[in-house]
């Protein structure tokens, strides 16, 4: 039967619970009691593991490579003997030992100084995985194939800002007798909304057995989810006779039955407040391909293309309340409330190019830039409701909106990662992007803006700052 290369993944071997400690073994020798089968091997194996673990922490160079190799081979042999003495599967135990100690890093670079790729017996109870030295560190062969693969998982957290494409506020304040620029909201939401977010994603790299898209070799798969959530508030007040205020009140969404309610007598004032919630989600999945430009990332830029699918949504919910006052107290029968709901969904194809530059600091620091294009179908919908009182019957005005169609969005990214421990990387990323066709509402500040009031589709700019922790498996 053909032999199988030793495992780099599998069941960890464990000593029997009755296995004595080093001190107990020595005590038995000194007392003349002797030791049981395999216990000398246990003692020596512990010494070897301690020495191998020391080398894995500090790395090796030069003649240390031969010393490490000799210790590993002896440890591999002793592991099999200890397993047999404890009625365990020797091949599985050796595989676990090889996974833990079968490679050691270089003391001065990010390379692997030595990796075990020998053959040890036949395997009957486990599917073992071979390392793939030719491609790079952390790569392995998919069992039963000649395809090299590396898997990397990422967890990211960050902060982002999205442009507020809505004009939403409360009340109308007239200053200096009114006119252009003198009739504005008492308070309104700002131009950008700050959000916090998290992301989970995975990436693989490999040769995939020669798979390609046309003439472009497939070199990886990517996928993941990212979400961001934020809110905003406004609050304000004004009173006739103070700070140039000559009138206070509110404007209707539509000029029916009148344009709104304004009080200009001394003592009248206005109080308003509003709240907005914003949420965003995005999921990606696709392939990475090697582009026929650039070169090896160890000597120069490496260029990769991306082609996949994506889903994205953006939701905004907001509400506001305005109350007319007289001498600081609510003026009965004169108020206005409103609420807004808007949602956008995007489905389509993501394509892009990402460039990785030559690693620095002995290969531990890596930087890259990229550009992505999002082509797809957009579905937008929204609703706005306004409830006003002006001393008589309530005035209810509302409007619904829906718009679907083709959309094009884009993103620019820059990132840097530093490998602070074997397989572990800490990094940061910045992204500037545009989200097309965002369902947006324009609420009038004064009667002159009522003709423009309503829904529209607008482009929103976004800026992300992310911190990233990644692990290669």
Count: domains in the chain = 2
Give me 17's structure tokens: 């619970």
Question: Does residue 8 fall inside a structural domain?
Answer: no
Say if residue 108 is in the same domain as residue 156.
Answer: no
Report pLDDT digits (tens) over 233-259. 999 999 999 999 999 999 999 988 889
> Cβ contacts of residue 285 below 8 Å, gap of 6+?
221, 222, 223, 308, 309, 310
Say if residue 284 is in the same domain as residue 415.
Answer: yes
What's the pLDDT at 382?
A: 97
Measuring CA to CA, which residue among 13, 21, 111, 106 is closest to residue 60? 106
Question: Does residue 62 fall inside a structural domain?
Answer: yes
Give me 1's structure tokens: 């039967």
Say if residue 330 is in the same domain as residue 424.
Answer: yes
Q: Which DSSP string do the residues of 173-225 spell out, in sequence order?
A: EEETT-STTSEE-SEE--SEEEEEEEEEEEEEEE-GGG-EETTEEEEEEEEEE
Q: What is the Cα gyration radius of the chain?
A: 34
- Determine the Cα–Cα distance for residues 162 and 276; give it in Å rounded to an integer: 13
Distance of CA 186 to the CA centre of its chain: 38
Report pLDDT digits (tens) over 430-459. 999 999 999 999 999 999 999 999 999 999
Say if residue 88 is in the same domain as residue 234.
Answer: no
Angle at 34 between CA 32 and CA 37, to 5 degrees: 180
Question: Does residue 259 fall inside a structural domain?
Answer: yes
Say if residue 434 is in the same domain as residue 360.
Answer: yes
Question: What CATH number did the domain enclosing 351 receive?
Answer: 2.40.128
Say if residue 95 is in the same domain as residue 164.
Answer: no
Domain-ending residue, one of 65, 94, 114: 114
Say if residue 29 is in the same domain as residue 90.
Answer: yes
Assign 3-class secondary structure to 105-117. Answer: EECCCCCEEEECC
Say if residue 108 is in the same domain as residue 165.
Answer: no
Alpha helices, DSSP H, located in 86-148: 90-101
Question: Does residue 143 fall inside a structural domain?
Answer: no
Domain-ending residue, one of 114, 137, 169: 114
Report pLDDT digits (tens) over 217-237. 777 788 899 999 999 999 999
Say if residue 109 is in the same domain as residue 182.
Answer: no
Question: Does residue 120 fall inside a structural domain?
Answer: no
pLDDT tens, per residue, the chain with 473 residues: 333 232 333 333 333 334 455 555 555 545 444 445 556 777 788 888 888 888 877 888 777 888 888 888 888 888 888 888 877 777 777 877 887 888 888 777 667 778 787 644 433 334 445 555 444 455 555 555 555 556 667 687 889 999 999 999 999 999 988 888 899 999 999 999 999 999 888 777 655 555 666 667 777 788 899 999 999 999 999 999 999 999 999 999 998 888 999 999 999 999 999 999 999 999 999 988 877 665 554 556 788 889 999 999 999 999 999 999 999 999 999 999 999 999 999 999 999 999 988 888 887 898 999 999 999 999 999 999 999 999 888 999 999 999 999 999 999 999 999 988 887 889 999 999 999 999 999 999 999 999 999 999 999 999 999 998 887 65
What's the pLDDT at 381?
A: 97
DSSP tag of 143: T
Give me 230's structure tokens: 């934020």
Domain of 62 in residue numbering reads as 22-114
Question: Does residue 232 fall inside a structural domain?
Answer: yes
- Determine the Cα–Cα distance for residues 459 and 440; give it in Å rounded to an integer: 9
DSSP tag of 12: P
Say if residue 105 is in the same domain as residue 162.
Answer: no
């Amino acid at each position: 039967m053909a032999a199988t290369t030793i495992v780099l993944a599998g069941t960890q071997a464990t000593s029997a619970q009755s296995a004595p400690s080093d001190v107990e073994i020595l005590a038995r020798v000194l007392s003349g009691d002797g030791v049981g089968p395999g216990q000398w091997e246990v003692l020596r194996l512990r010494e070897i593991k301690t020495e191998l673990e020391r080398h894995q922490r500090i790395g090796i160079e030069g003649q240390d490579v031969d010393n490490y190799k000799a210790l590993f081979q002896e440890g591999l042999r002793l592991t099999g003997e200890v397993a047999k003495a404890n009625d365990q599967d020797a091949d599985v135990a050796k595989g676990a030992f090889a996974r833990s100690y079968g490679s050691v890093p270089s003391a001065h670079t990010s390379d692997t100084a030595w990796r075990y790729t020998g053959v040890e017996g036949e395997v009957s109870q486990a599917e073992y995985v071979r390392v793939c030295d030719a491609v790079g560190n952390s790569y392995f062969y998919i069992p039963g194939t000649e395809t090299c693969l590396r898997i990397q998982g990422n967890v990211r957290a960050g902060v982002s800002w999205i442009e507020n494409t809505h004009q939403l506020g409360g009340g109308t304040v007239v200053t200096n007798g009114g006119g252009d620029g003198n009739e504005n909201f008492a308070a309104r939401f700002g131009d950008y909304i700050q959000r916090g977010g998290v992301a989970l994603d995975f990436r693989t790299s490999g040769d995939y057995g020669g798979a390609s898209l046309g003439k472009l070799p497939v070199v990886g798969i990517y996928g993941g989810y990212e979400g961001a959530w934020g809110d905003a508030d406004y609050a304000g007040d004004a009173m006739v006779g103070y700070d140039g205020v000559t009138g206070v009140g509110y404007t209707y969404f539509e000029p029916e039955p009148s344009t709104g309610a304004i009080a200009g007598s001394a003592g009248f004032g206005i109080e308003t407040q509003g709240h907005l919630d914003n949420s965003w989600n995005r999921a990606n999945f696709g392939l990475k391909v090697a582009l026929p430009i650039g070169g090896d990332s160890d000597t120069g830029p490496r260029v990769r293309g991306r082609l996949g699918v994506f889903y994205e949504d953006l939701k905004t919910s907001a509400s506001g309340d305005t109350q007319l006052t007289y001498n600081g107290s609510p003026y009965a029968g004169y108020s206005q409330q409103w609420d807004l709901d808007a949602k956008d969904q995007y489905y389509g194809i993501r394509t892009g190019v990402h460039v990785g530059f030559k690693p620095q600091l002995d290969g531990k620091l890596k930087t890259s830039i990229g550009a992505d294009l999002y082509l797809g179908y957009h579905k937008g919908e929204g609703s706005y409701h306004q409830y006003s009182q002006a001393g008589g019957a309530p005035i209810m005005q509302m409007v619904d909106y829906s718009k679907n169609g083709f959309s094009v969005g884009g993103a620019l990214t820059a990132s840097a990662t530093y490998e602070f421990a074997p397989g572990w990387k800490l990094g940061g990323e910045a992204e500037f992007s545009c989200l097309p066709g965002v369902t947006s509402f324009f609420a009038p500040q004064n009667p002159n803006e009522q003709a423009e009031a309503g829904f529209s589709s607008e482009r929103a700019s976004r800026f992300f700052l992310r911190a990233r922790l990644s692990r290669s498996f």
